[in-house]
């Protein structure tokens, strides 16, 4: 992004808006605000109009901070680190070997799954995470691997035991990484409706939400709408994300979502992923990037 693009929506000489800063660094607006409140960085100046502006000199450091966080370091350790310490954190986290190209990487993960080789599967996943950073790891490794795993199971090339084995290892890693980002302020409740036993997609979405600055209350599979609603009210949640799958009965799911929507006030956003339609007042999310956009708008 050029300097001209960064400053196109601000007053000359007054720095850039938080939206432009978010675009320049790849850090969600909600995360920038949370870091500023918690750790005092980035620093903003306030114009006579009351608008906040950020100096361009902070962009490069924020990019490096984002990189360090994607490599697995806590924001609390990264934000206050000196430039030298930040460089050391990033260097120490570089992968020892390449995690491979996308197709080869997925093929290697499938091969480890076929052999029920937990060590090889875990090593392949962690190398990809270290080499790609969290968001690319999710979008370019986890999602393609889970799709390939499902296709291999459906075609009979892998059995139920293989699918369960790999899903459990992926689920464990996603939950572990999500716990590393439990510093968010705005809360989102993540759950699947009654009868829905598949929560791996919900685990993926929850990790992305936590990385985007949300405090995730994860309820998991097979949760009654009244309990989802009660959790949202008790935690003063900004949003509720409901996971579904193609195997769900759409009419039943729509009825349950409608009941959930009626339990919550209009200030609480409700969204569903994995379903073909949604009742009034519930946002239908088509993919994981849509999940990220939904939370960005909700938390703004």
Q: How confident is the model at residue 85 (pLDDT cuts 50, 70, 90)?
A: confident
Give the per-residue pLDDT at 274: 86
Higher pLDDT, residue 283 or 33 = 283
Higher pLDDT, residue 73 or 122 = 122
Sign of CA dihedral 97, 98, 103, 106: positive
Average pLDDT score over the chain = 86
CB of 40 closer than 8 Å to CB of 3? no
CB of 190 closer than 8 Å to CB of 206? yes
CATH number of the 181-299 domain:
3.40.50.280
Measured CA to CA, the distance from residue 248 to residue 299 in angstroms comes to 29
Give the per-residue pLDDT at 12: 40
C-alpha count within 13 angstroms, C-beta hemisphere, residue 294? 26
Q: How does pLDDT run across 67-78, given as a tens digit for each residue?
A: 887 776 777 788
Measured CA to CA, the distance from residue 108 to residue 166 in angstroms comes to 12
Give the per-residue pLDDT at 187: 93
Q: Which of 143, 146, 150, 141 has the alpha carbon at shortest distance from 100? A: 141
Give the per-residue pLDDT at 261: 95
Q: How does pLDDT run across 199-258, given as a tens digit for each residue?
A: 899 999 999 999 888 999 999 999 999 999 999 999 999 999 999 877 778 889 999 999
CB of 184 closer than 8 Å to CB of 216? yes
Q: How does pLDDT run across 261-278, given as a tens digit for each residue?
A: 999 999 999 999 988 889
According to DSSP, the residues that pair with 282 across neighbouring strands are 270
Q: CA dihedral defined by 154, 159, 163, 164, rounded to 10 degrees?
A: 140
In b/e form, how buried is each residue of 242-273, taking b as 16+ CB within 10 angstroms? bbbbeebeeeebbebbbbbbebbeeebbbbbb
Give the per-residue pLDDT at 101: 58
- For residue 119, pLDDT over 60 is answered with yes
Tokens 């990264």 label which residue?
A: 78
Q: How confident is the model at residue 28 (pLDDT cuts 50, 70, 90)?
A: confident
Sign of CA dihedral 156, 159, 162, 167: positive
Q: How confident is the model at residue 87 (pLDDT cuts 50, 70, 90)?
A: confident
Tokens standing for residue 99: 């995690």
> Per CATH, which fold does 102-178 belong to?
1.10.1240
DSSP, res 49: T
Higher pLDDT, residue 205 or 96 = 205
Residue 248: which residues within 8 A CB-CB, separation 6 or more?
Answer: 193, 195, 196, 274, 275
Q: How does pLDDT run across 138-176, given as a tens digit for each residue?
A: 999 999 999 999 999 989 999 999 999 999 999 999 999
Calculate the CA 155 to chain-centre distance. 30
Give the per-residue pLDDT at 9: 43
Calculate the CA 81 to chain-centre distance. 24
Give the per-residue pLDDT at 15: 85
CATH number of the 3-92 domain:
1.10.1660.10
State mean pLDDT over 72-90. Answer: 80
* Percentage of the chain exceeding pLDDT 90: 50
* Percentage of the chain exceeding pLDDT 70: 91
The two domains 3-92 and 181-299 share their CATH topology (first three levels equal): no
Give the residue extent of every domain in the chain.
3-92, 102-178, 181-299
Alpha helices in 180-215 (DSSP H): 200-211
Measured CA to CA, the distance from residue 190 to residue 165 in angstroms comes to 23
DSSP, res 8: T
Q: How does pLDDT run across 171-191, given as a tens digit for each residue?
A: 999 999 888 777 777 899 999
CB of 16 closer than 8 Å to CB of 31? no
State mean pLDDT over 17-24. Answer: 88
Give the per-residue pLDDT at 153: 92
């Amino acid at each position: 992004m050029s300097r001209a693009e960064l400053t196109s929506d601000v007053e000359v000489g007054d720095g850039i808006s938080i939206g432009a800063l978010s675009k320049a660094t790849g850090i969600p607006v909600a995360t920038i605000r949370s870091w500023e409140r918690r750790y005092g960085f980035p620093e903003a100046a306030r114009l006579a109009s009351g608008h906040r502006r950020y100096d361009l000199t902070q962009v490069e450091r924020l990019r490096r901070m984002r990189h360090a966080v994607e490599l697995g370091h806590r924001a609390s350790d990264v934000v206050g680190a000196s430039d030298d310490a930040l460089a050391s954190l990033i260097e120490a986290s570089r992968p020892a070997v390449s995690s491979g190209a996308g197709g080869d990487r997925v093929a290697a993960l499938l091969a480890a799954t076929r052999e029920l080789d937990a060590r090889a599967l875990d090593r392949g996943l962690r190398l990809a995470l270290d080499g790609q950073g969290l968001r690319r790891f999710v979008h370019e490794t986890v999602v393609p691997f889970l799709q390939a795993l499902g296709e291999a199971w459906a075609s009979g090339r892998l059995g139920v035991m293989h699918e369960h084995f790999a899903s459990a290892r992926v689920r464990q890693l996603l939950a572990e990484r999500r716990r590393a980002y439990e510093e968010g302020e705005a809360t989102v409740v993540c759950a699947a409706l009654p009868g829905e036993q598949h929560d791996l997609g919900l685990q993926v979405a929850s990790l992305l939400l936590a990385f985007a600055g949300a405090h995730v209350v994860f309820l998991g599979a097979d949760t009654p709408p009244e309990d989802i609603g009660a959790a949202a009210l008790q935690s003063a949640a900004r949003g509720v994300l409901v996971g579904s799958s193609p195997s769900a009965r759409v009419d039943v799911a729509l009825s349950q979502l409608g009941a959930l929507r009626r339990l919550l006030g209009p200030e609480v956003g409700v969204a569903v992923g994995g379903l073909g339609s949604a009742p009034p007042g519930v946002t239908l999310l088509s993919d994981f990037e849509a999940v990220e956009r939904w939370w960005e708008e909700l938390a703004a």
